[in-house]
Amino acid sequence: MNLGQSILEALESLSANKLRSGLTILGIVIGVGAVIAMLGVGQGAQNAITGSISGIGSNLLFVFSGNFQEDVRNVKPLTKADAAAIGDPFQAPSVAAVAPVVQGDAEASYAGEKVTATLTGVTPAYAEVRNYRLTEGEFINEEQILGRASVVLLGPEVADKLFGRREGVTGEIIRINGQPFRVIGVLESKGGGAFGSQDDVMLVPLSTAETRLLRRTRDRVDVIFVQAISADAVKQASDEVANILRTRHRVELGADDFTIFSQDDFVATAQVITSVLTVFLGGIAGISLLVGGIGIMNIMLVSVTERTREIGLRKALGARRRDILIQFLTESSLLSLFGGLIGIGLGWLIAFAVGQIAASSGTPLTPSIGLDSILLATLFSTAVGLFFGLYPANRAAGLEPVEALRYE
């Protein structure tokens, strides 16, 4: 018996019990659909998080006070003087720009509307380091830093909440923590992500934030953003920054009172977390495939019992053990293959629905279904059919012709 004839006979056998075959296929459909959807959602989450991290700037280093890996005493805070030293091209030739910031929450109000957003005190270099663009107005300049000017740049979400629009707000006067500030521009939307919404922010001059709004100790900053001259120079820039801070803070070797992260560190961490999550979700969905495979075994065992006399007759007419084995394996494989193909469509629909729900709620999640996940689910479903069809097929092939013909 050739393969083509086996497939035709398997199709005839399955079509003879359409309802039973359909219900058996349903288990595989649900399993494959769940695997495809979960892998797609997991990949979409990974793309969203890594894209958000990449969108905060290019070739960035993040310098924080304190050692995140070891317990170090006498931690000295980061200062504007530290930032100035890092920005010295003679001490750190691999550094292109430096932007010290102070951060905190503040309440803004306008015409009875109030919103609490992240307030960040920045310098002019912040725009370049963090890849910020404006839809209108101008960025904070050095003169406003020196004069502790009462000016503010609004993120698009803050502008929407206060004014109900993002255009034509430059020049308006709002109050931040009760103090009047003039709006000098609106930031271009960056969306949300691993660091929270990058649109729900207010930027003011660093000197204004530390003296009038956040009440920080003079010269002290929360984070120093450092931009390397190129992607290849990030490691060298990190070493230069570390050496400068060790000298300025007079720390012992191996007892740094600061921590430096690069974008690659954040991206790698995010990818590990999302990969584990994707595997976890895919594993849970894979249980559905296991249940579907058990359903195939159950139905094939029933089919062997129902067709015992047919098997005996085939063997009596010269069918070999291999022919019977191939016939039943073909039936189980076709069941899982059809289920897998339909399941791919179901998985795509589920992923599409998740993407639409995420978009309607403002969540930057776009499920991504790749060819690798489709091939994995299809091959796995076919393997399930073969594995769970092997025992019933072997049982059918092992029947003795005389005993099978006497079966009632």
In this structure, the strands spanning 151-154 and 60-65 are unpaired
Q: How far apart are alpha carbons 245 and 252 in whole angstroms?
A: 11
In this structure, the strands spanning 113-122 and 223-228 are unpaired
* 75 within some domain: no
- Residue 299: predicted pLDDT: 74
Q: What is the pLDDT along the chain (408 residues), one digit of tens a residue?
A: 566 666 776 677 667 777 777 777 887 888 888 888 888 888 787 777 766 666 565 588 889 887 766 666 677 888 889 999 998 888 989 998 999 999 999 999 998 889 999 999 999 999 888 888 899 999 999 999 999 899 999 999 999 999 988 888 999 999 999 899 999 999 988 765 445 567 889 999 999 998 888 877 778 898 999 988 887 888 898 889 988 888 888 877 667 778 888 777 766 777 777 778 777 777 777 777 777 777 777 777 777 666 666 666 666 666 677 777 777 777 777 877 888 888 888 888 888 888 888 777 766 677 877 777 777 777 777 777 777 777 676 766 666 665 555 554
Asked if residue 360 and residue 274 are part of one domain, the reply reads yes
Asked if residue 393 and residue 324 are part of one domain, the reply reads yes
Asked if residue 272 and residue 155 are part of one domain, the reply reads no
* Backbone phi, psi, residue 349, to 5°: -65, -40
Asked if residue 109 and residue 45 are part of one domain, the reply reads no
Asked if residue 217 and residue 115 are part of one domain, the reply reads yes
Asked if residue 107 and residue 48 are part of one domain, the reply reads no
Asked if residue 280 and residue 172 are part of one domain, the reply reads no
Q: How far apart are alpha carbons 236 and 59 in whole angstroms?
A: 12
Asked if residue 277 and residue 214 are part of one domain, the reply reads no
Task: Please enumerate in sequence order all residues whose Cβ is within 8 A of that of 194, keeping only pairs 6 or more positions apart, or say none.
Answer: 49, 52, 53, 266, 270
Asked if residue 218 and residue 273 are part of one domain, the reply reads no
Asked if residue 206 and residue 292 are part of one domain, the reply reads no
Quote the domain boundaries for residue 185: 96-222
* 71 within some domain: no
Joined together, the tokens standing for residue 312 give: 């005996």
Among residues 222, 239, 259, which one ends one of the domains?
222
Q: In 101-120, which positions are buried (b, 16+ CB within 10 angstroms) versus exposed (e)? A: bbbeebebebeeeebebbbb
**CA-wise closest residue to 346 among 110, 52, 50, 38:** 38
* 246 within some domain: no
Q: How far apart are alpha carbons 268 and 332 in whole angstroms?
A: 42
Give me the half-sphere count of Cα atoms (radius 13 Å) on the Cβ side of residue 404.
21
Task: Please enumerate in sequence order all residues whose Cβ is within 8 A of that of 396, keeping only pairs 6 or more positions apart, or say none.
Answer: 304, 307, 311, 324, 325, 327, 328
Joined together, the tokens standing for residue 264 give: 């690659």
User: Into how many domains does the chain fold?
Assistant: 2
Among residues 163, 191, 222, which one ends one of the domains?
222
Q: In 323-340, which positions are buried (b, 16+ CB within 10 angstroms) versus exposed (e)? A: ebbbbbbbbbbbbbbbbb
